[in-house]
Chains A and B, each alone.
Chain A
Amino acid sequence: MATVQSGLYQEAKEELISGSEAVGIACALADVDVITAYPIRPYDTVMQYVSRLKADGAFDCDFIVAESEHSQFEIVKHASAVGARTFSGSSGVGWFYAFEAITVTAGLRMPVVAMVGNRALDDPGAFGVEHNDAMAVRDLGWHLYWVATAQEALDMALMAWRVAEDPRVLLPFALSCDGSFLTHSQAIVQVPSQDQVKKFLPPYTRGELQLHPNNPITIAPQVNEDWLMEIRRQTDEAMRRTSAVIIEAYDEFKEIFGRGDPSPFIEEYMCEDAEIILVGMGTLAMPTRVAVRRMREAGKKVGFLRIKFFRPFATEEIQNALRGAKGVAVIDRDYSYGSPQYGGVLFHELRSALYPLEERPLMLNFIAGLGGREVKVTDVNDMVDTTQKAIDTGKIEQTTTWVSVRE
């Protein structure tokens, strides 16, 4: 099997790189076979990096610049069917342009790994981060993970191929990286060695599902009402199985690479004994953690719960993390027009997850940072104050609040 030729990654080392570069390095370490690119900001920085690696002879892959996002995702879908390890990605409306292909990729159980550089859905034109783009795959059978740091981007990219390609799973994996804040910001990243990655990531083998003259199968015939429900059910079962596979892979990841959180699904920051817990995803974690730490120093019992895997949704772990709180403040970097009480998608998912609890915390929703607007520490303080007021009065005056918006 081919490995990274230049020996760039023979030894584990530290590098100052962006989130996009971290995912690009993961592609080389994972020895991905087929990568498809199409330009759109901000995800495309990963493809600029990959093309450079290929040009320099540091990474042997078929790097294809497609003529549209739709073709980008169709190409990797078909490459995956013949047994190739694949990577693609997009942002915002580009991700939506590919949507037909994205839909069938999950339906066909092709373990494509994609990076979504989260971006607002224009029009009006906006380059900044919003989560509505990646969110759109939540009902389709994709794994959906929100990254907070460049290190996590590299680590979870490796996890993505391991989990997606597992024969018990075979479902695609979307790695959501906040535009600019993650794709373009540099941080110190521990880059593992090729040997470590080889130990962690087995080759992708489709077995009797491989499309090849030695195995002349027909993939995706017309099933209609005769079989569609059974096939949907199989996809559902694969998604139910993936949680155990994720845990298994993450345990091994921590053992081989020597880093990781207690849970692959969520990150709890000062949540123990917290009366108010803020919940959010992605790079929101940074200002929120700072705010929580300062409030803790001032004696306020607050915590932060970061949802990492949005799909599969770790319902029980999230219930356990939030069940002791009096108030839960959900920060959405997305929005669902006309939804119940006009809230964000994460808020609705969480409220649904907590509904079966006997004692439910008060739940408030904060729409913040749309289009890449900065979420400040003071914004987080205000969210906690609003939530405290609801707890004190026992009454939610306004379920959803738009943070720092000009009225």
Chain B
Amino acid sequence: MATVQDLPQIRGVKDIPLEEFYTSGHRTCQGCESALVMRLMIKAAGQRTIVLGSTGCMYVANTTYYSTPWVVPWMHTQLGSAGSAAIGTAAGLSSMMRKGKMQDEPINVIAFCGDGGGVDMGLSAISAALQHQEYNLLIVCYDNESYANTDIQVSGSTPWGANTTFSPPGKETRIMNTKWKKNMAPMMAVGHPDMKYVATACASYGLDFNNKVRRALTVGGPTFLHCFDPCPKGWDYDPKYSHELGMLAIETGLWIQYEITDGELILNGPSRAIAKGIRKRKPVEEYLMRQGRFAHFLPEDIKYFQERVDEQWEKWWIPGLVPITPGQDDA
């Protein structure tokens, strides 16, 4: 698999392919953004694709025996194995094609994981996969900010203070989750110098998402895409607001849309406008107070949250990406 498929960038909504490769049969919740991620992901990738799905919502709710929604070949992988599944599939294809045991053609390999499977348990295998320059593969982390399939438990990607079944606000302790969300995509970008493409995305911006999948699949080598997925069940809001919450997270500056190609960073959409000073960030409170998981927040909690977001825009070396500031030069 030396070559990649010809997947041109989609110029407008009217050019988006009509074919669906993720269809009926899934049992995801109403308003599930992760299901939309699946649909847009495979629409962009096309039919000559193998998809590997690690344990999580997009396995359990999606793939019931005898009613699979996947038109393309699909295989389950273990919770922490998105990286290994991608390597194994790509290596098997590559080896057999090289030895003439299988017809030589570019086949997309995409492995997805949730935040539990990616940001927590699968971190080491994803990191290993992103070092394998000889294989073309894409890891998609659909981040709905909790172990949403198993009853909404806190993950390393859950926001500070959020109410989950493992971090419920109680009589004594209001804030049970005292960890700040892991900075996953930059960690992947900074930690794997040879990797050609890392991006963040959100299905609220569908065309942008489609094109990021295509860039990831055509740049060559291993790539990583981190999607921000509002989850009505886990975040406790009316399912009709999924799309809007995705936009609000970006407009408040909490989630930042960007892509890093060959080490070059470009911010996209509202994030770009915020960085350029064209657009002002909305207060984080507007985003937080729309969700039941933050309903226990006191003004001081909202203030703290806002300060942390301000900090990532105003104090970080690369705003929103690198939480480091240059030290004082002694000389």
Instruction: Point out residues on A near B: beta carbons under 8 Å.
Output: 1-2, 31, 33-34, 60-62, 64, 66-68, 70-71, 74-84, 86, 100-101, 104, 203, 211-213, 215-224, 226-227
Contacts and interface: CB of A to CB of B under 8 A. Distances in A.
A215 B76 CA distance: 16
Given A82-B50, A218-B74, A221-B68, A71 B102 contact: no
Contacts of B66: 221
A227 B65 contact: yes
Given A216-B71, A218-B73, A221-B68, 19 more contacts: A33-B95, A34-B92, A64-B91, A68-B124, A71-B128, A78-B85, A78-B92, A79-B89, A79-B92, A80-B88, A82-B89, A83-B102, A84-B95, A213-B47, A215-B73, A219-B73, A219-B74, A220-B75, A227-B65
B93 interface: yes
A211 B84 CA distance: 16
Contacts of B81: 70-71, 74, 101
B97 to A, nearest CB: 10
Contacts of B95: 33-34, 61-62, 79, 84
Interface in B99-153: 99-102, 107, 124-125, 127-128, 132
Contacts of A80: 88, 92
Contacts of B102: 83, 212
B89 to A, nearest CB: 5
Contact of A81 (B47, B80, B92, B107): B92
A30 to B, nearest CB: 13
A212 B92 CA distance: 11
A213 B107 contact: yes
A100 B81 CA distance: 10
A34 B128 contact: no
A33 B70 contact: no
Contacts, number: 152
B74 to A, nearest CB: 5
A306 to B, nearest CB: 35
A82 B96 contact: yes
A51 to B, nearest CB: 15
Give the bracket for the number of chain B residues in contact with chain A.
35 or more
B26 to A, nearest CB: 11
Contacts of B89: 78-79, 81-82, 211
Contacts of B64: 221-222
Most chain A beta carbons < 10 A, residue from B52, B89, B98: B89
B134 to A, nearest CB: 8
16 contacts: A33-B92, A62-B92, A62-B94, A68-B125, A71-B84, A74-B81, A74-B125, A78-B75, A78-B77, A80-B88, A84-B93, A100-B78, A212-B73, A212-B102, A213-B49, A218-B63
B125 A211 contact: no
Given A34-B88, A84-B96, A221 B52 contact: no
Nearest to A79: B92
In the A-B complex, list the 3 residue pairs whose CB atoms are closest, starting with the nearest: A78-B88, A79-B92, A84-B92
A226 B47 CA distance: 30
A217 to B, nearest CB: 6
Given A62-B91, A66-B128, A226 B96 contact: no
Contacts of B47: 213
A211 B50 contact: yes
B63 A67 contact: no
A101 B64 CA distance: 21
A2 B96 CA distance: 9
Contacts of A76: 88
B249 interface: no
B48 interface: yes
B125 A82 contact: no
A2 B65 contact: no
B222 interface: no
Contacts of B63: 218, 221-222
B76 to A, nearest CB: 4
